[in-house]
Amino acid sequence: MLYISTRGHADRKHFCDILLEGLAPDGGLYLPEQYPKVNGTMLTRLRKAYHEQGYAELAFQILSLYIDDIPAADLKAICAKTYTAEVFGTGEIVPLRHLEDGLWLEALSNGPTLAFKDMAMQLLGNLFEYELKRRGEQLNILGATSGDTGSAAEYAMRGKEGVRVFMTSPHGRMSAFQQAQMFSLQDENIHNIAIEGVFDDCQDIVKAVSNDHAFKHKYKIGTVNSINWARLLAQVVYYFAGYIQATESNSQKVSFTVPSGNFGNVCAGHVARMMGLPIAKLVVATNENDVLDEFFRTGVYRVRAAADTHETSSPSMDISKASNFERFIFDLLGRNGQRTKALFSAALQTYGRFDLSADPLFADAAKKYGFESGKSTHADRLATIKDTYERHGVTIDTHTADGVKVAREHHSDAKVPMIVLETALPIKFAETIVEALGHAPERPAKFAGIEDLPKRVQVMPADVELVKAYIERHCA
């Protein structure tokens, strides 16, 4: 299996090379040359693997379709080490919970940082450690987080041999719990950088450093954001697990609603669907920062400036530049690298937007690829949290509430289960839960008093050169 850039670069690379690299040399994102196909026989085998041997075996079999430069026994051991009941709180790893007629929640937030990002990040940490040890190398990870990626990455990489983490986040724009999870870590290989700006400023810094090839090579810079293909690949697995739990035969279809800001989580669903998983709809749920909803409704992709990026009660989706969206557009345009490059490198940089509304291929987003979308507001999520608690006794977080609200609007076929991907546990956004319900959500004992712990964080302006200088100082 070889990987190509969405922007048409001539290189073809193996999995372990792109694992450590992040962006392609031309600024594009990596995708496999073709998606491996899962037929009925293989889906039956995957169903049996999950039911009889568990999530780790399912992960191994799916990852094996994409990774041929790690020996099978080693990859199997990495999966077994990653997906355990000790780490994720249950042997099912991602249990499906029935909410109401035809609507299900897939629990993805049982990992160390109580967010779905743990599902991929725990695997990524073990893959990094394995490959760096095999090569005798070190890696400096530069990341950007709007809330959950950062803590998931830091908890996955803390103490890992050969790895340092430099995590940027928007200063003052995460919940108190999210900040405490990250900034309270005292591990020497973990560095938190709070950027005076919004998440998109952080993301722009990561991309700028990744595109400085001399700096990237000298300091061995890698990424853990969902621009890293390995992380997105790990997320593909739980779409299969959700489907298997919701169905009894391969003739059945399911739909997924995915709260999404950066398009990474739902892009994994797109990959699963391209592989042949019987997915009817992939519904993108946004908050007030509705750049993705606008595209799927109109064909116009229009990024917002920092001043126009709303600060909301589902802050992990306060994003106006969806990094992974380029992967889907590449597929939508028939894998035309030059055209993709023209849109994401030229049109966005010059005009801050592109318009596919008149292109016949735009209709394929819904018709061929199953995408629909919807939007949720602060008032919507308060009402959804309250309703879900009062009718079902279930407390959901703010992002999951966005998903549930939009899922109810798009669940049109009673025969097709609608699965909402849970984003985080509600304790991460306690202030809004109190606003909705009048009481605080349950807090796991291990996080008692976390907001009062000493903080280790560096605040700096949104300046690429300052971040590079910080990395240089700590890699000396």
Give Cα separations from 428 to 8, 235, 381, 431, 435 (angstroms): 40, 21, 15, 9, 14
Q: Which amino acid is at 388?
A: T
Contact 138, 162 (CB under 8 A): yes
- Degrees, nearest 5: CA angle 304-310-316: 100
Q: Give bridge partners of residue 283 from the DSSP assignment.
A: 257, 372
Count Cβ atoms within 10 A of the Cβ of residue 360 and give its class: 0-12 exposed, 13-18 middle, 19 or more buried: exposed
Give dist(CA 33, CA 8) in Å, integer.
Answer: 11
Distance CA 408, CA 82 (A): 34
Task: Show Cβ contacts of residue 341 under 8 Å, excluding neighbours closer than 6 positions.
Answer: 6, 7, 8, 26, 28
Q: Please, which residues have CB within 8 angstroms of residue 190's CB and are 6 or more apart in sequence?
A: 154, 157, 158, 164, 165, 167, 456
Tokens describing residue 145: 């987080």
Kindly state the tokens that stand for 218: 């000298």
Identity of the residue numbered 458: Q
Where do runs of H (alpha helix) occur along 103-172?
Answer: 117-135, 148-157
| Residue type at position 238 | Y
How far is residue 185's CA from residue 178's CA, in Å, rounded to a whole number?
Answer: 12
Cβ atoms 212, 469 nearer than 8 A: no
Does the annotation mark 117 as catalytic?
A: yes
In DSSP notation, 142-160 reads EEE-SSHHHHHHHHHHTT-
Phi-psi map region of 335: left, alpha, beta (phi>0 left; psi -120 to 50 alpha): left
Tokens linked to 421: 């991907």
Q: Which of 37, 48, 76, 117 is catalytic?
A: 117
Phi, psi of 7 (to 5 degrees): -105, 15
Catalytic residue ranges: 117
